[in-house]
Structure 1
Amino acid sequence: MTRVMIADDHPLVLSGVESILRDSEFEVVGRASDGTSVLEALSSVRPDILVLDVSMPQMSGMDVLRTMRARGDQRPIILLTASLADHCLVEALSLNVDGILLKEGAEHLLVRCLRDVSQGKRWIDREAMDRALSYTMNDGKKGQHPLACLTKRERAVTGLIARGMRNRAIAVELGVTEGTVKVYLHRIYEKLNVQSRTELALLASSAPEIE
């Protein structure tokens, strides 16, 4: 079973998360009510994934994320939150957070989120991603969209991804090999810090124009 540590300063939320996971493939191996306790318990609890409330006393979920990444600890972290400031959303994404899940509706989505994250995928709530993209476009960069860092050919590939085309069809459209398309996608993912076609398509959908 996948070992999960959960942290929230509300006992009711902790009990609720445990109840959701009780009959799943995820085993709750540790509980905490603040970020400091999470960090202190890591070596003994040895969780595979952490599910952290953003707002906790002493150290928040964001503080734990910052600390673990600064230590080089890349264990998957899911932030469970009622709300998250736009600048924190952007920072969490830059720190390679593995999941951002809103508490409203989490009872239906938490297991699905954990399954994706346990498979190396990223789960970001659509509303949270939209807000992060909007903030990035208006944070003093004069409205420059993230796609501006791509080459013309990389933007073309991104545009075709946004249209739902698969690699083989993209290769035919651009007159290149399917392997070349994969190389382009790898570069695009690295430049934009995205991990899936869905994230890339979402990012592309917010662009004013893709050549």
Structure 2
Amino acid sequence: MKKKILIADSLPIVVLGLTTLLKSTHSVFSIESVHTLRDLLEVVVEKPYHYLIVDLNIFGADSKSNLRKIKDLNPELKVAIFMDSKNHLEGELMLEEVVACLYKDNSREDLDTAFTSLFTQGYYYSQELLYHFLHTKNKGKNPLTCLSEREREVYFHLIRGGGVLEIANALGVAQSSVSTFKKRLFKKLHINSLVELIQFHNQNYQQNSFHF
């Protein structure tokens, strides 16, 4: 059975463009679409979609609240946000379990790379977005300030389920380097396993209001 993708965008031409791109490179998926938030909320309940590619504008002014509604209706749904341009919401949306942030001014090649990463690794974020996400202005409050930039990048990929090979490919470094960064961050955070790492992340970045 084909996995299902739902595209939610108010502009039919955008839906057509995304559908054409996805069918040309990822034909193993079944693709459907909606154009309003009301329709989106209805079909998410009715059908077991695997991926949602949604225009941020469709959520209206309260994007985070409406995103949570979607996740509550289908907790297993992988949500990729499609937006007009870069804005301050990306970091906050990433903490709301958005698995990809895409932009309408991306080239076809960039979008194809993003979708390939999303469907194979389970997530996609540009290096620019990762950089901003992993740096904080509140250095006295963020437990990750003890980590180097590379260690933070590895941390981020680990909590998203990335393996050593996947992380090495994403960062453009050797697998041995990833293993070294992993050991260092474990030592600095006083943890001994991936299970403890996930527990650490949940305690500090889901129950509290820390921002990267």
Q: Same fold (TM over 0.5)?
A: yes
SS of 1:123's equivalent in the other structure is coil
SS of 2:98's equivalent in the other structure is coil
Residue 22 of structure 1 and its aligned partner are, at CA, apart by 1.9
Report the AA paired with residue 56 of structure 2: V
Q: Choose the corresponding residue for 1:66, options 44, 65, 68.
A: 68
Q: Percent identity?
A: 16
Total equivalences in the alignment: 178
Match of 1:40 in 2: 42
Match of 1:80 in 2: 82
Distance in 2, Cα, partners of 1:59 & 1:159: 31
Match of 2:160 in 1: none
Contact 1:78 1:99 in 2 (8 A): yes
Match of 2:10 in 1: 9
Report the AA paired with residue 68 of structure 1: I
State yes or no: 1:109 paired with 2:102: no
Cα gap change, 1:64 to 1:115, in 2 (>3 Å) = farther
Match of 1:147 in 2: 144
RMSD: 3.9
Counterpart mapping for 1:125-136 below 5 A? 125-134=126-135
TM-score, normalised on structure 1? 0.64
Contact 1:7 1:53 in 2 (8 A): yes
Contact 1:76 1:117 in 2 (8 A): no
TM-score, normalised on structure 2? 0.64
Match of 1:201 in 2: none
Residue 92 of structure 1 and its aligned partner are, at CA, apart by 0.9
Cα gap change, 1:69 to 1:170, in 2 (>3 Å) = closer
Report the AA paired with residue 41 of structure 2: L
State yes or no: 1:158 paired with 2:151: yes
Unaligned runs of 5+ in 1: 177-181, 194-206
Distance in 1, Cα, partners of 2:40 & 2:75: 13
Report the AA paired with residue 167 of structure 1: S
SS of 2:32's equivalent in the other structure is strand
Match of 2:22 in 1: 21
Match of 2:55 in 1: 53
